[in-house]
Amino acid sequence: MNPLPVLVLLPVTGGGLAWLAARIRPHSARPSARDASWWTVLATLIGETLVLAMVTFHHTDHAGPWLEHFAAPWIPVMGIAFRLDIDGLSLSMIWLSLVLCFLCAFLAPRQDTTGAGTFHFLFLATLTGIIGTFLATDLFLFFFFWELMLVPMFVLIATWGHEDRQRAAMKFFMFTQGSGLVMLLSILGLVMTHYRATGVLTFDYFTLSRTPLSPALSMLLMLGFFIAFAVKLPVVPVHVWLPDAHTQAPTAASVLLAGIMLKTGGYGMIRFDVMLFPDAASRFAPVAMALGVVGILYGAWMSCMQDDVKRLIAYGSISHMGFVLSGIFGGSAMGMQGAIVQMLAHGLGTGALFLIAGAIQDRMHTRDMRRIGGLWAVMPRLSGTGLFFAVASLGMPGLGNFVGEFLVLLAIWHASPIIATLAATGLILAAIYALRMVNRIFLAAPRADLRPVRDFPARQMAVFACVMAFMIVLGLYPQPFMTFSTPAPLSVTAMPRPEGSAP
């Protein structure tokens, strides 16, 4: 049995079961977070992990950068197939998604115990969309998953979010949906061009990559993809949805949004911009790098001014994603690898920061840093964890973000020393916003009206300790991840080899 469709379909199936479990056994006598529905989610995630581990450690007989393939006809008339392929890049992104989902399952408290089943179903449906996005190599299927990940997330924000959730959810939906349509136009344009040139109607990624394109047309199509990914990443002029959505979303959804969903933008840029249209991408690179640097500076600048913890972290994400954008378009393998490491480190670090912000909100019932005050005296574990991840996000050498940022800066330096210097000054701003947060929440004078609150229990600390250890490993020994997560080239090895040609 091929593991790839299982990987995609398992979460949504598990989500359905979780929903059923909550229907069959609605709230037992004591409403707790650990009900049947939650256990179903956990089982689903464990199953998913096992399948993924199988893909990771199962060496296929044909060597090559692509690890697994799956193809089944879907709508043969239009050349649409249910085609999934996995390489190191997709694999590492899916691992990141799973780790963050586990974090959410263990640590994210639900704001509201009502509708736990539905919540879990939507959560896992989003996961299906995300994993599908990372795997699909048929452009129509890719678009399908791209939209699929959007809808459950919209409902999650609009239903379980904070005070201003409706507006934030609507903004999120409008931006991503609108940009998705531009991508659809681009996909159709590419398919039609290929059809005109060769007479074959197909949505297959590998076939389409060989489409002969005029420079102007390839630039146009590339831009169509770029806009969709830029909204998701987000790149500065189209980032408007992000601070609201991240702030208003419930904790688990914030973690999913910041941790993984932003990465689909980066993934898409690598897979569909730089690799499908290399010439157009290299011509577009100066603009993209400039946009990245603008994002770095603007995000950090805005982050310095926030009073809302989650908003501060959200703007910090924009700044970090600027490094990813610059690295991807840096024009060298170094920048690409830096961007990937940055995505992994940012996913973990920001995910953990959102979990901590959520924990603070649960305990203090506010996200306003002016009203939180010094927590170190009452919650040393939570504060220590928060300090660690704040320091990681300011790019402390020895932790994951630094490796990514350094490689990206080095790659940009080859292209333009001035842009690299500007990007480096973003690190000063990063120090300002991270330490402001630390000195307003954790290491500050405790407020007089501070009620006694519960610190993280040892179990949760153990989970956080694992994430911290992973951040340190990523910072000090990133080489295996960098080797492992290199995107596979667009070579013919992608095609399943004819039988018998194997040596």
Pick from 205, 182, 265, 192: nearest CA to 83? 205
Instruction: Identify the residue among 101, 122, 242, 482 touching another protein (CB under 8 A).
Output: 482
Task: For residue 113, give the DSSP letter.
Answer: -
474 binds another protein (CB under 8 A): no
Backbone angles phi, psi at 354, to 5 degrees: -65, -35
Taking CB under 8 A as the rule, does residue 450 contact another protein?
Answer: no
- 151 is a contact residue toward another protein (CB under 8 A): no
* Helix-strand-coil split of the chain, %, nearest 5: 75, 5, 25
**421 lines the binding site for another protein (CB under 8 A):** yes
Contact 16, 45 (CB under 8 A): no
Cβ neighbours around 383 below 10 Å, total: 23
Question: Could you say whether residue 463 binds another protein (CB under 8 A)?
Answer: no
Residue 413 binds another protein (CB under 8 A): yes
Q: Counting contacts by CB under 8 A, is residue 324 touching another protein?
A: no
319 binds another protein (CB under 8 A): no
- 427 counts as binding another protein under rule CB under 8 A: yes
Is 129 an interacting residue with respect to another protein (CB under 8 A)?
no
According to CB under 8 A, which one of 420, 471, 474, 488 is a site residue for another protein?
420
| CA dist., res. 66 & res. 57, Å (int) | 13
Pair of tokens at residue 303: 């982050």
Is the CB of 334 or the CB of 355 nearer to another protein? Answer: 334
Determine which residue in the list 403, 419, 437, 474 makes contact with another protein, applying CB under 8 A.
403
Q: Does 67 bind another protein (CB under 8 A)?
A: no
CA distance 146 to 141: 8
CB of 187 to another protein, least distance (A): 23
User: What are the C-alpha distances in Å from 136 to residues 80, 140, 204, 418, 498?
Assistant: 12, 9, 10, 38, 22
Select from 209, 384, 416, 490 the one that contacts another protein (CB under 8 A).
384
The set of residues, in sequence order, having a beta carbon less than 8 Å from that of 176 and lying 6+ positions away, is 150, 231, 232, 241
Taking the complex as a whole, the smallest distance from the CB of residue 81 to another protein amounts, in Å, to 29
* Cβ 432 to another protein shortest distance, Å: 7
Distance CA 245, CA 253 (A): 9
In the set 58, 414, 454, 497, which binds another protein (CB under 8 A)? 414
Q: Which is nearer to another protein, 97 or 303 (CB)?
A: 303
3-state secondary structure of 87: strand
Beta bridge partners of 41: none
Distance linking the first and last C-alpha atoms of the chain: 24
Residue 406 carries which side chain, given as an amino acid letter?
A: F
Candidates 105, 275, 435, 473; binder of another protein (CB under 8 A) is 435
- Residue 279 or residue 307: which is nearer to another protein going by CB? 307
If binding is defined by CB under 8 A, does position 84 make contact with another protein? no
334 binds another protein (CB under 8 A): yes
* Cβ distance to another protein smaller for residue 71 or 443: 443
Position among 181, 184, 240, 453 found at the interface with another protein (CB under 8 A): 240
Give the alpha-carbon dihedral of 115, 118, 122, 127, to 10 degrees. Answer: 100
- In the set 374, 386, 400, 487, which binds another protein (CB under 8 A)? 374
Q: Does 314 bind another protein (CB under 8 A)?
A: no
Q: Is 331 in contact with 83 (CB distance < 8 Å)?
A: no
Q: Quick check: 128 and 148 in contact, CB under 8 A? A: yes
Q: Which two three-digit tokens encode residue 262?
A: 């932003």
Measured from the CB of residue 377, what is the shortest distance to another protein in angstroms? 9
Pick 73 or 417: Cβ nearer another protein? 417
Residues with Cβ within 8 Å of 267's Cβ and at least 6 positions away in sequence, in order, are 89, 90, 93, 133, 134, 343
The reply to whether 443 sits near another protein by the rule CB under 8 A is yes
Would you say 145 or 389 has its CB closer to another protein? 389
Residue 192 found at the interface with another protein (CB under 8 A): no
With vertex at residue 150, the alpha carbon angle to CA 247 and CA 244, rounded to the nearest 5 degrees, is: 20
Site for another protein in 247-286 (CB under 8 A): none
- How deeply is 72 buried, as exposed, middle or buried, from its count of CB atoms within 10 A (0-12, 13-18, 19+)? exposed
Looking at the Cβ atoms of 212 and 398, the one nearer to another protein is: 398
Judged by CB, which is closer to another protein: 98, or 231? 231
Q: Out of 212, 417, 489, 496, point to the residue binding another protein (CB under 8 A).
A: 417
Q: Which listed range, 36-44, 49-57, 212-220, 300-308, lies at the site for another protein (CB under 8 A)?
A: 300-308
* Number of residues this chain uses to bind another protein (CB under 8 A): 46
CB of 382 to another protein, least distance (A): 13
368 scored as a contact of another protein (CB under 8 A): no
DSSP string, 190-248: HHHHHHHHHS----BHHHHTT----HHHHHHHHHHHHHHHHHHTT-GGG-THHHHHHHH
> Which of 46, 50, 428, 466 contacts another protein by CB under 8 A?
428
The whole-angstrom separation of Cα 137 and Cα 132 is 10
Residues that bind another protein (CB under 8 A): 240, 301-302, 304-305, 332-334, 337, 374, 376, 380, 384, 391, 396-398, 402-403, 406-407, 409-410, 413-414, 417, 420-421, 424-425, 427-428, 431-432, 435-436, 439, 443-446, 476-479, 482
